[in-house]
Amino acid sequence: MLWVAITSTLLWASPVAEGAVTAPDVLVKTGARDKRGTTMPLALPVIGPDGSQAPLQDWMKADKPTILTFNYAGCPMLCGLQQDGLARSLKELNLKAGQDYTLLTVGIDPKENTELAIGATNRLSSLVDAEWRFLTAPEASITALTDAAGFDYQYDKVTKQYAHPAATYILTSEGKISQYFTAIQPDSRDIRWALVEAGKGQIGSVLDQVALTCLQYDLSTNAYVARGVMRSGGIAIVGGLFAFFGVLWQRERRRWRKDNV
């Protein structure tokens, strides 16, 4: 059954109407909590696609932000949808994984081995034409990492699948959660600005930096939106234009009266 994979990302954030059929317990306990500002435990060991075990921080570039997702290679639906959607958004950026930022996926199934990680890494890298590593990990590392990120998932014994949200995390080079997205395909513009924000000006253009001074992230819309100061500035500009055209209209009106007296 594939309902666990797809409904886990739809039902966790939606209130259940009175009298409606409630979601299974495995889905109620699934979701992505806001843990922005939390520093991930980067010293925890994970296993690379080459079979080597090292702290998570060793797979991250020291001076670049990281995009991190939690998935598993045996996922029948949601993981593939999320990875494909993220890849489409990333390919719209003029930034490259492995060069401007690190792109990692940590598997949530501790039973998955290096062979699966190699296949997953090859598939993911082909999606973005760049470096996208799939890391497996001991169960203790998976539990600690997902808990720090606020990534709540459950294993359903009936379907033998994991119910989990679609969440994409943006980390600073120190491993702090700077931003996260819960859409299957986050907007490429939002990802770019989140990377610039997490990169502290080390990536992105001057225009990106200027834009971020006028924007804030709205979780209700999963997008960056104009701050109040920018909206106020827009209102002031519109008001100024009305005043300007009002003055012109008054001048034309007086001129017309003078010419017709």
**Residue 205 pLDDT class (50, 70, 90 cuts):** low
Mean pLDDT of the chain: 82
Question: Closest Cα to residue 71, out of 194, 160, 149, 162?
Answer: 162
Q: What percent of the chain has pLDDT over 90?
A: 62
- Rounded to two decimals, the pTM is 0.75
Per the DSSP assignment, residues forming a β-bridge with 13 are: none
Question: Taking the CA atoms of the chain, what radius of gyration do you get in angstroms?
Answer: 24
Tokens of 1: 């059954």
| pLDDT tens column, 128-184 | 999 999 999 999 999 999 999 999 999 999 999 999 999 999 999 999 999 999 999
What's the rounded mean pLDDT across residues 216-237?
59
* 6 touches 77 (CB < 8 A): yes
Asked if pLDDT for residue 5 goes beyond 50, the answer is no
| pLDDT tens column, 10-41 | 444 444 455 555 555 656 679 999 999 999 99
Alpha-carbon distance of 139 to 150, in angstroms, equals 16
For 4, phi and psi rounded to 5 degrees?
-60, -45
What's the rounded mean pLDDT across residues 229-255?
58
